[in-house]
Amino acid sequence: MLRVISGKYKGKRLRMVMNERVRPMPHKLKETLFNIVQFDIPDISILDGFAGTGSLGIEALSRGAGEVVFIDEFYPAVKAIKTNIERCEAGSLTRVIHKEFNRAVIMLSKENKIFDLIFLDPPYLLVEKRDPLKVIYKREILSKGGIIVLRHHFKTRFESKYFELKRKMRVADDVLEFYGYEEIEALEKG
């Protein structure tokens, strides 16, 4: 069962997607993640990429995020996200995009959208074959001091050429990696 851990939607049950393409973040891992980012969340703009059930974005909204944009290309996941947003009555703070991730980021870039925090929970094979941070970097949708949180399996070998790894932690079979701009590069872009 999937629930919101804390905040104004605490305890709300979220709709699951019964398909192997959707892997909700385990409760312990989600709790660890939000213990790290909780003080950065109030009033910021968040992108929940490869959103699945929308659990991460909804948790962020529950803790005071200003807005969350959800992206998923799998239609059953998009339906679940919309249902979960309705259950929390958070529609005015959200946008759900039913598109492939790179295309959605390109679209958001053309709209001049910038995010302070980006959650990425892509299929594990996608992490190995393509760098999902590349399009974020090229389209400049991460704010100067923003953070990208990438979840992947501990056996996955990944190194981004586009952002600096700020923190890495393993919980069971999952790894959370926190990326941001290098200090010098962030100043040059500004």
Helix%, strand%, coil% for the chain, nearest 5: 35, 30, 35
Distant-in-sequence, close-in-space partners of 129: CB < 8 Å, separation ≥ 6? none
Residue 122's φ and ψ, nearest 5 degrees, are -80, 165
- State the pLDDT at residue 185: 47
Lowest mean pLDDT among 30-44, 64-78, 119-133: 119-133
DSSP H or E run through 139: helix 133-139
Residue 155 has pLDDT above 60, yes or no: yes
First to last CA, the chain: 44
Q: Which residues pair with 49 in a beta bridge?
A: 71, 120
Residue 6 has pLDDT above 70, yes or no: yes
Q: Which residues pair with 174 in a beta bridge?
A: 153, 171
Q: Tokens 């923003």 appear where? A: 146
Tokens matching residue 168: 């890495």
- What is the DSSP code (8-state) at residue 101? H
Residue 186 has pLDDT above 90, yes or no: no
- pLDDT-based confidence at residue 183 (cuts at 50, 70, 90): confident
- pLDDT tens profile 77-113: 999 999 999 999 999 999 999 999 999 999 999 999 9
Exposed/middle/buried for residue 68 (C-beta within 10 Å: 0-12, 13-18, 19+): buried
- pLDDT-based confidence at residue 153 (cuts at 50, 70, 90): very high
CA distances from 69 to 27, 106, 129, 159, 184 (A): 22, 14, 25, 25, 29
CATH of 2-17+26-189, one of 3.30.720.120, 1.10.3720.10, 3.40.50.150, 3.40.1160.10: 3.40.50.150
The reply to whether the predicted model has a pTM over 0.75 is yes
> Rounded distance, CA 182 to CA 190, Å?
12
Residue 23 has pLDDT above 90, yes or no: no
Tokens matching residue 73: 């290309």
Residue 152 has pLDDT above 60, yes or no: yes
Tokens matching residue 161: 């050429």
- State the pLDDT at residue 190: 47
What are the extents of the domains in the chain? Answer: 2-17+26-189
Q: Which residue has the higher pLDDT, 68 or 182?
A: 68
Q: Which residue has the higher pLDDT, 190 or 45?
A: 45
- pLDDT-based confidence at residue 130 (cuts at 50, 70, 90): confident
Please answer whether residues 162 and 189 qualify as being in contact, where contact means their C-beta atoms are separated by less than 8 angstroms.
no
